[in-house]
Amino acid sequence: MIEIKNLSKTFSGSGNTVEALKNISITIADGDIYGIIGMSGAGKSTLLQLISGDLRPTSGAVFLDDINLTRLSRLRRDRLRLVFGRVPQLSQLMRKRTISENLSAVAMLTQSRKLPPIQTRIQKTLAMVGLPDVGARYPVELSYGECRRVELARAIINSPSILVLDELTANLDEDTIWDILHLLCEINRHGTTIIMATHAKEFVNLLRKRVITLVDGQIWACQRT
């Protein structure tokens, strides 16, 4: 379970101070799908980065199963972050490496006897996202939508407990969005918690899951659709 208590984040620079988030409190149960919606600048990306430990809050805390992530040492925090699979808003694919090499770099972070060999995981995750034959290709050889699918494969390759997805479906056609949402529902049915920021309110509503609406860094509404 993820519990967010009185979370605030302020950015300062060039003489300006911006309150990106203001006193956010949410409880996300194990196995939930949460959609975070709102206009650009509402604080969606900042909230996801705080949840996954990529940012430290100005005040408040994020708890993962009663463990306060904001008080952990950097080493313990980095280890615990492996329970998260992430798709950032901006691509993190390395252009000079093949798709298999991109996925292998992430798969190597988690090696366990409980997990299949790395090459098996690469083949399985690429097949899951509908791209079984792109392993030897480079990101520049793929379309934008295919690269986003690879980003999703990269996020799920280590079977994380929690997926944090930032605008995964942005600028994709409706058929591709539906394919991705169907895959996310399948992943969720196997117990993975999914937290996704999106502009696609109509698609999130059709999932009939929990939806948080952010306005100017504050929760304007929290409901089950």
- pLDDT tens digits, 51-86: 988 889 999 999 998 888 888 777 777 777 788 999
Residue 44 identity (one-letter amino acid):
K
Encoding tokens for residue 71? Answer: 């008080």
DSSP 8-state symbol, 199: S
- pLDDT tens digits, 202-212: 666 666 678 88
pLDDT of residue 100 exceeding 90: yes
> Which residue shows structure tokens 């992943």?
187
Confidence (pTM): 0.89
DSSP 8-state symbol, 71: G
